Amino acid sequence: MSRIYNFSAGPSALPEPVLRQAQEELMEWRDSGMSVMEMSHRGRFFSLIAEELENDLRTLLAIPDNYKVLFMQGGATAQFSFIPQNILNGRTRACYVNTGAWSEKAIQDAKNYCEVIVSASSEASKFTNIPDPSDWVLDEQAAYLHYTANETIHGVEFSDIPDSVGLPLVSDMSSNILSRKFDLSRFGLVYAGTQKNMGPAGVTVVIVRDDLIGKSGKQTPPVFNYADQAKNHSMLNTPATYNWYLVGLVLKWLLKQGGVDAIEQRNMAKAELLYQTIDQSSLYRNPVDPSCRSRMNVPFILADQNLDKPFLAAAEANGLFELKGHRSVGGMRASIYNAMPEEGVRALCDFMAEFERTH
Ligand code: PMP
């Protein structure tokens, strides 16, 4: 069987060397005499894994010392509630930018805790652009400004960090963290589920500036409380130990690739190739404004919907999996995260050209 490429939006393809190393170490980690799954989270072996995990993430993202790094559970979805619970800090309003399905969910959940001011929305364009930040309506009394750095479903990505005019900037980077350089010191809080660019599902990374935490009320359960978790190195209760280990392997793989700078160059090349294939064809179309097309998630529709099923079937026959678009938008979507090799994107582009020629 020829090689298979998995274009799933998440959980998604992992680097092959990571899977092989996990396989090799499944029965025994280094000379510990046990599998990582069997280790006490407070034991000396796992402590080493946890320490390396945080250090590697700090290196890769150049995280300043005045930021805490938390590894939590509940997915990015839980953060939609944890963020207002933890960092409203006595304020009653928060600003949110609505650029797609994930922003909408974040807004919906935040409404349980505060008044949400929708500073800008691209709903009118069916989420195919990003409203000009100079037109955003910001409330200086708001606790923070939230935006979704990459909309996984709509394929819309911010290429620059918007100016929050003094408000702590909060960003959902679930689907583009570690894929491109960014200046973390511009943010109050960044969060991301691991199941796209960092490993399997089950861990959520939260990077938060010291001064924003420690003031939330008692109603926030301690395991969801950033300050409590920070004090306990994210081990207030038993963490998802094996998942931490796997995330650690992915980070080491990324360091070996040359870090975020190097992977960003590759991600740019991959995305360019795919968008070029789409733009040059008369069968495929990507609806997103070119200035904010995602490098990670590339949605496209076929000119004739009747070809969707044959397209997916033929793709699978050619080893190209998980190309069906999200149920809410239809069409196709190719997710091309860090672990997708350029050959995978090339194989997809070649297939798309051939499918167009024969249909
Ligand atoms: N935000 C974004 C941008 C996402 O892509 C996703 C998951 N696809 C989520 C939040 C929700 O993540 P989870 O399912 O891990 O809660």
Q: Of ligand 1's atoms, which has the minimum distance to the CA of residue 173? A: 3
In angstroms, rounded to a whole number, what is the distance separating the alpha carbons of residues 128 and 250? 32
Residue with tokens 């076929």: 302
**305 assigned to some structural domain:** yes
- Are 60 and 111 in the same domain? yes
Same domain, 277 and 145: no
Host domain of residue 128: 17-256
Distance in angstroms (rounded) separating the CA atoms of residues 278 and 276: 5
Q: Is residue 11 part of a domain?
A: no
> Can 196 be counted among the known catalytic residues?
yes
Catalytic annotation, pick one of 29, 56, 136, 196:
196
Residues 149 and 49 in one domain: yes
Residues 72 and 158 in one domain: yes
Residue ID of nearest Cα to ligand 1 atom 5: 152
Chosen domain end from 256, 272, 305: 256
- CA of 201, closest atom in ligand 1: 15
Tell me how far the alpha carbon of residue 227 lies from the centroid of ligand 1, in angstroms: 23
Task: State the Cα–Cα distance between residues 229 and 70, nearest whole angstrom.
Answer: 7
pLDDT of 148 reads 98
Phi then psi dihedrals of residue 87, to 5 deg:
-125, 15
Mention every residue, 6+ apart, whose C-beta is less than 8 A from residue 69: 54, 57, 58, 63, 205, 206, 207
Last residue of a domain, one of 256, 272, 299: 256
Q: Does one domain contain both 245 and 308?
A: no
Query: Is there a single domain that holds both residue 133 and residue 272?
Result: no
285 within a domain of the structure (yes/no): yes
Q: Is 292 in the same domain as 224?
A: no
The residue whose C-alpha atom lies closest to atom 14 belonging to ligand 1 is: 75
- Written as one string, the DSSP assignment of 332-356 is EEEE--TTS-HHHHHHHHHHHHHHH
User: What pLDDT is stored for residue 278 in this prediction?
Assistant: 98
| 240 and 344 within one domain | no
Instruction: State the CATH number of the domain containing residue 308.
Output: 3.90.1150.10
Q: Is 102 one of the catalytic residues?
A: yes
**What pLDDT, on a 0 to 100 scale, did the predictor assign at position 179?**
98
At residue 216, the pLDDT reads: 85
Residue 8 lies in a domain: no
131, 274: one domain: no
Q: What is the CATH number of the domain that holds 151?
A: 3.40.640.10
Final residue before a domain boundary, out of 214, 240, 256: 256
pLDDT of residue 1: 52
- Residues 35 and 101 reside in one and the same domain: yes
Total domains in the fold of the chain? 2
Whether residues 79 and 210 share a domain: the answer is yes
Which segments of the chain have a pLDDT < 70?
A: 1
| Digit-coded pLDDT (tens) for 79-112 | 999 999 999 999 999 999 999 999 999 999 999 9
Same domain, 101 and 36: yes
In-domain check, residue 46 = yes
Domain for residue 209, yes or no? yes
